Amino acid sequence: MEELKTYSINKRIQVLDKGFVELQDMMGDDLAIVNAARVSFLGESKGEERDKKLLFYLMRNRHTSPFEMVEFKWRLRAPLVVWWQLVRHRTANLNMQSGRYTPFEESDFYVPSAWRKQATNNKQASDGVLENDASEELLALLVEHYERGYALYQKALENGVAREQARLFLSGFAVYYTGVWKIDAHNLMHFLSLRMAEDAQWEIRQYANAIYTVFQEVLPWTAEAFRQYRLGDLALPQ
């Protein structure tokens, strides 16, 4: 299973209109999880069949610490509305682009493909697509809003205002940031189980689905056990 360690490294998956997910680095594989479990009594691999059986036992019985031995380092480009939810997973390590050092570009704004309606049975969620005469008008107004804010941002910079203050003119939740996000396999699975769920915000679900696509490629045994024992009826990305 050694060849799985570098599979999909630096493979970029496009997300939303201008974002992406990219696995930059990875430490460990399925066998590393098995060997971490066997270290309790100084054991090692006992062949593929027995190794996989042990990994499934660990997942089924929630023996989580061996899964913490595998780590992922992701590079993400996402609008702040997504990063705002990513930072809530405090078991991860995070370092982001700074608007104090790097000026924003005119295209660094998230433009949704459709407007969603407010869910009637969930105060924090959406449900269905808005399909009325106002939909296109609202989209045009959003783009106009971005353009106006960016023009003011540029004007502030041209007049000598510091980048850290000039960015106040930008539409905060819509601005794209690039960052590095490091997390172990156990906590990544917790993230995926929450953020691929139907009640998660649509935008972060797209990032979770992209991450899951890579996750199942590089940790196939773990992903199979995860699907069987943790995800239940959750709809998975194709």
Q: Are residues 158 and 193 in the same domain?
A: no
Q: Are residues 71 and 135 in the same domain?
A: no
Q: Are residues 92 and 186 in the same domain?
A: yes
SS3 readout for the chain: CHHHHHCCECCEEEECCCEEEEEEEEECCHHHHHHHHHHHHCCCCCCHHHHHHHHHHHHHCCCCHHHHHCEEEEEEEEEHHHHHHHCCCCCCEEEECCCCCCCCCCCCECCCCCCEEECCCCCCCEEEECCCCHHHHHHHHHHHHHHHHHHHHHHHHHCCCCHHHHHHHCCHHHEEEEEEEEEEHHHHHHHHHHHCCCCCCHHHHHHHHHHHHHHHHHCHHHHHHHHHHHHCCCCCCC
Q: Are residues 79 and 196 in the same domain?
A: yes
Q: Are residues 183 and 211 in the same domain?
A: yes
| Residue tagged active-site, from 100, 195, 205, 230 | 195
Q: Are residues 6 and 92 in the same domain?
A: yes
Q: Are residues 180 and 86 in the same domain?
A: yes
Which of 174, 192, 210 lies at the terminal end of a domain, its last residue?
Answer: 174
Q: Are residues 149 and 70 in the same domain?
A: no
Domain membership flag for residue 106 = no
Q: Are residues 82 and 67 in the same domain?
A: yes
Q: Are residues 35 and 129 in the same domain?
A: no
The C-alpha atoms of residue 139 and residue 119 are separated, in whole angstroms, by 20
Domain membership flag for residue 72 = yes
User: Taking 70 as the threshold, does the pLDDT of residue 55 lie above it?
Assistant: yes
Which of 131, 148, 174 lies at the terminal end of a domain, its last residue?
Answer: 174
The C-alpha atoms of residue 43 and residue 161 are separated, in whole angstroms, by 62
Look over the chain and give the mean of its residue pLDDT values, rounded to a whole number.
Answer: 90
Q: Are residues 211 and 137 in the same domain?
A: no
- Predicted local distance difference test score (pLDDT) of residue 235: 64
Domain membership flag for residue 105 = no
Q: Which domain holds residue 70?
A: 2-96+176-231
Domain membership flag for residue 102 = no
CATH of the domain at 65: 3.30.1360.170
Strand order in the sheet with 71-79: 12-15, 19-27, 71-79, 176-184, 93-96
Instruction: Count structural domains, the chain.
Output: 2
> pTM for the whole thing?
0.90
Domain membership flag for residue 103 = no
Domain membership flag for residue 76 = yes
7-54: pLDDT as tens digits:
567 789 999 999 999 999 999 999 999 999 988 655 677 788 999 999
Domain membership flag for residue 136 = yes
186-238: pLDDT as tens digits:
999 999 999 999 889 999 999 999 999 999 999 999 999 999 999 876 667 75
Which of 174, 199, 220 lies at the terminal end of a domain, its last residue?
Answer: 174
Q: Are residues 14 and 46 in the same domain?
A: yes
Residue 90 burial class via C-beta count within 10 angstroms: exposed 0-12, middle 13-18, buried 19 and up: exposed
Domain membership flag for residue 237 = no
Tell me, yes or no, if 195 is annotated catalytic. Answer: yes
Asked if 44 contacts 200 with a C-beta cutoff of 8 angstroms, the reply is no
152-186: pLDDT as tens digits:
999 999 999 999 999 999 988 899 999 999 999 99
